[in-house]
Amino acid sequence: MPNFYNVEFDNALLLGTAQYPSPAILTDAIRHSQVQIVTASLRREAGGSGAGQNFWDMIKGLGIRVLPNTASCYSVKEAVTTAHMAREVFDTRWIKLEVIGNSDTLQPDIFGLVEAARILCEDGFEVFPYTTEDLVLADKLLQVGCEVLMPWGSPIGSGRGLNNPYGIRTLRAHFPDVPLIIDAGIGLPSQAAQAMELGCDAVLLNTAVAKSGDPVTMAKAFADAISAGRAAFLSTPIEMSDMAQPSTPVIGKAFLA
């Protein structure tokens, strides 16, 4: 079971709340997948006449946690300001920290990310940094106070899955006790299962569910795949081999004419 900042959860799937066909479909997707954490962009939910309040009321009614994020922030100042606003609106110290460095790939600005994380951690936030699989960057984020890492699988919304499984496996090996949440780029339940088989603690996704033909069924499929992937990791999979390994050994067996 994933544990983030000393809060334990039964479900390792986190869902974004953007791009769904309707609030009703979003609600059904959350319920059918039994998701316990959703993310929300303060900027999106604050826009429109009362839209933000309606969203917040819906989340409260479901009894689940909201992880506000600093989506679309391109500077430290912008991200920190948005985080402070989110803490007031959603009444939580949790913040998914995004400091974007490239508008095409939406890759994190690694320098700005560390600085913003330092400022927010010192101010009492519990930071979930959207980062890359770089070990040095991960270590610096932990040094400034982050207790969770959210490495990307591939560019946001791309559906490409894990571009660098080796990097994720290495990150897991170097930081065995740090919760890892794969964030961004997951497009299929099989890709989410792969992330969990590598030892990740959870998967955060949005587009793969919200933009699918049936978001409710897809959310449930992801929840099932993530559960299966985690069980596989805990069961210690067999090592890969270059040679065939017969399931029925020949040595010690009688040969019948």
Residue 60 falls in the annotated catalytic set:
no
60, 96, 211, 220: which one is catalytic?
96
What is the token pair recorded at 57?
């009321």
H-assigned helices in the chain: 23-33, 42-46, 51-62, 76-90, 110-122, 135-143, 165-174, 189-197, 207-210, 215-234
DSSP annotation of 132 reads: -
Q: How far apart are CA 33 and CA 30, in angstroms?
A: 5
Instruction: Look at residues 1, 8, 27 and name the one whose alpha carbon lies nearest to residue 216.
Output: 27
User: Exposed (0-12), middle (13-18) or buried (19+): which is 127, by Cβ within 10 Å?
Assistant: buried
- For residue 128, the cross-strand partners are 96
* Amino acid at position 36, single letter: Q
* Amino acid at position 147, single letter: E
In this structure, the dihedral spanned by the alpha carbons of residues 201, 207, 210 and 212, taken in order and rounded to 10 degrees, is -110
Do 14 and 38 form a contact (C-beta atoms < 8 A)? Answer: yes
The pairing of beta strand 65-69 with beta strand 37-41 = parallel
Distances 71 to 28, 57, 100, 103 between C-alpha atoms, Å: 24, 21, 8, 12
Catalytic positions, written as ranges: 96
